Amino acid sequence: MISHLVKYLLLFWALVFIPCLTRSQSIPVNPISFDETIRDLQLEGNYLSNSSLTIRPILFTKKNTVDSLYHLMSSKGDTPLRSKTIHFLWNVGRFNILPVEILSKYNSHHPYGWNDAAMIPAKGFQSIASAGVYSEIGPLAIQLNPGYIYAENGKYDLTQSYGSLPTGTYKKYLIGQSSVRLNGGPISIGISNENLWWGPGKYSSLMMSNNAPGFLHMTFNSRKPLKTPVGLFEWQVIGGRLEDEKNIDMPLEIRGLRSYRKEYGSNSRFQGDWKYINAMIFTYQPAFLKGVSVGFSRQFSGLSKSVFNNATDQNFASKYLPVFGKLFKSKLVNDDSKSWNQLADIFLRAVMPKSHAEFYLDYGWNDHSYNERDFIMNPSHSASFIVGAQKRVELRKSVWLSFSGEVTHMEQTPDYLVRWAGSWYEHYQGTGYTNSNQILGAGAGFGSNSQVFSTALNKGYKKIGILLERVQRAPNTHKVRWDELSYGIIGQYKFDDFILSWRLSGVDSKNYGWKQDFNRFNFIGMISARYYFF
């Protein structure tokens, strides 16, 4: 019976969707890429006006093609990038060569920086090289974009509260931004290892970002907003596998916390089990509020030995899809017995194309409340938020000046004086919200705060600007305040089919490693070189 059902499903896909070209190649979530350019074009009123941009990577469609993006990015006098597409099987299939990219980073004194995907927190030089191909046949889309990372992973200054001796040179082959999907109309289902970004934040995200390497997951998501009489809907549901490593440090902000000692003892490297993650995001744009997006997301993650070896739980949904369960602890089945680490957030993004501006807010909880009364009486317990805005000004034709600012607050609210909530992303029975030993959400660190300001002048593919960052490292868990102030330049330039992007910054660390009057300077440099085969 099952075999007949599979045959009928395949026949259905073939008859309905093979006549269409799906064109679902994605723009990867990348620290220095066109991902940010898409946001700028939307504020200018030129691109993806009906997308919330709160669920990324962005998948191209038949109408929203990569060539249309390249054309809009080009200013007068620029030679626009163009994709070289090879069609086969009577135009049912197509083939593209993805850009070759080398992303390099250097820290002179100690690990610093976030949103750098597969790069590890390390001192010294490291680099990731990636290349790949994209192909589709009817509804089947395959993107192979593997990579290779090399990191010096040198020794750096240690303090009583921060640091451990690195294990030496780090090398690893990566699956990278690869995926296999079946696409039909506005819907996509498949297996992916791509980085995800959920929420409205530009520099940080409470739920999903590219701070950690991508992880293998099954996905069911929208490819474009689904239009209905009441508005537009977008969503994604995933189930995946998170794996930490023995060869690099765990995030050391959690040293000394109960779950850290339980799982790792005195060692700062992972020695435990892999983690299962189930997460979902849903975004709605009301028909009566053009440019406004509201949404929520939720995730559950826990050690597989706790999640899958619970003999009292035989319910498939509560085991594999807990995000669709009840909102409050008292009504959840085996919640604490499974050592689930839960996160949830609600968010809003308002885009004003005529003013070339946006405002956004993301408010989340590190753990759900016990019941309705608990939430109403104490909504700030274990809460954090991101608030930000961006404004673009057209100085003259195709020349834009942008201003953007964002505040991420993960320090515990004053409520911790009567009810301790633990560090953001850390659950008292869990192991932290990490993959490959790096936080999946906001990269400033467990229970840390960050403030970011940027201004830039750009024309087409060219860009030059300044970037300022301030990070307060886990202020709730240490008597001494460790603050870091980063200041530097960002830029991008195009040479024919070659694009060079960079960030060069100095970092002043006050009370480095939570050690009083132990001040240090760090230099961070990031350079991305991408070549397009056209």
How large is the average pLDDT for residues 391-419? 89
How large is the average pLDDT for residues 523-530? 95
DSSP string computed for 448-501: -EEEEEEEEEEETTEEEEEEEEEEEE-TTS-SS-EEEEEEEEEEEEEETTEEEE
Asked if residue 336 has pLDDT above 90, the reply is: no
Can you give 39-69 as a three-state secondary structure string?
Answer: HHHHHCCCCCCCCCCCEECEECCCCCCHHHH
- Rounded Cα distance between 239 and 261, Å, is 28
3-state secondary structure of 371: coil
* pLDDT: which is higher, 172 or 379: 172
DSSP state of 513: G
- Rounded Cα distance between 57 and 177, Å, is 10
Show the tokens assigned to 306.
């706790």
DSSP string computed for 94-144: EEEEEEEEEEEEEESSS------TT--S-BEEEEEEEEEEEEEETTEEEEE
* pLDDT: which is higher, 417 or 424: 424
* pLDDT: which is higher, 25 or 209: 209
Quick one: pLDDT band at residue 107, thresholds 50, 70, 90?
very high
The pLDDT tens digits for 341-386 are 889 999 999 999 999 999 999 999 987 777 777 777 777 788 899 9
* pLDDT: which is higher, 415 or 351: 351
Quick one: pLDDT band at residue 75, thresholds 50, 70, 90?
low
For helices 34-43 and 66-73, the axis angle rounded to 10 degrees is 70
pLDDT reported for residue 334: 46
Of 199-203, 232-236, 310-314, 500-504, which gets the smallest average pLDDT? 310-314
- Rounded Cα distance between 408 and 204, Å, is 7
How large is the average pLDDT for residues 161-177? 88
CB 442 within 8 A of CB 204: yes
Mean pLDDT for the chain overall: 84
Residue type, 393: V
pLDDT reported for residue 268: 45
CB 362 within 8 A of CB 345: yes
Quick one: pLDDT band at residue 150, thresholds 50, 70, 90?
very high
Which residue from 196, 81, 59 is spatially nearest to 134, judged by alpha carbons? 59
pLDDT reported for residue 21: 40
pLDDT reported for residue 12: 37
- Rounded Cα distance between 435 and 418, Å, is 32
CB atoms within 10 A of CB 455: 15
Tokens 């050391």 found at: 252
pLDDT reported for residue 266: 39
What domains sit in the chain, N to C, each tagged with a CATH number? 2-531 (2.40.160.130)
How large is the average pLDDT for residues 124-143? 93
- Rounded Cα distance between 381 and 452, Å, is 25
Alpha-carbon radius of gyration of the chain? 23
pLDDT reported for residue 457: 95
Quick one: pLDDT band at residue 419, thresholds 50, 70, 90?
confident
Of 9-23, 290-304, 310-324, 374-388, which gets the smallest average pLDDT? 9-23
Of 4-13, 188-197, 429-438, which gets the smallest average pLDDT? 4-13
Asked if residue 255 has pLDDT above 50, the reply is: no
3-state secondary structure of 161: coil
Of 127-136, 174-183, 360-369, which gets the smallest average pLDDT? 360-369
pLDDT reported for residue 174: 94
Asked if residue 260 has pLDDT above 70, the reply is: no
Percent of the chain at pLDDT exceeding 70: 84
Quick one: pLDDT band at residue 307, thresholds 50, 70, 90?
confident
Q: What is the largest CA-CA distance in the chain?
A: 72
The pLDDT tens digits for 262-280 are 444 434 445 567 899 999 9
Quick one: pLDDT band at residue 331, thresholds 50, 70, 90?
very low
Percent of the chain at pLDDT exceeding 90: 51
The alpha carbon of 207 is separated from its chain's Cα centroid by a whole number of angstroms, namely 8
Asked if residue 230 has pLDDT above 90, the reply is: yes
- Rounded Cα distance between 100 and 93, Å, is 23
Show the tokens assigned to 360.
């956004």
CB 479 within 8 A of CB 456: no
Asked if residue 132 has pLDDT above 60, the reply is: yes
Of 149-153, 261-265, 347-351, 481-485, which gets the smallest average pLDDT? 261-265
How large is the average pLDDT for residues 69-79? 72
pLDDT reported for residue 249: 64
pLDDT reported for residue 257: 42
At residue 415, φ and ψ (nearest 5 deg) are: -60, -20
CB 61 within 8 A of CB 223: yes
- Rounded Cα distance between 272 and 287, Å, is 48
Quick one: pLDDT band at residue 30, thresholds 50, 70, 90?
low
Of 359-363, 401-405, 438-442, which gets the smallest average pLDDT? 438-442
Asked if residue 253 has pLDDT above 70, the reply is: no
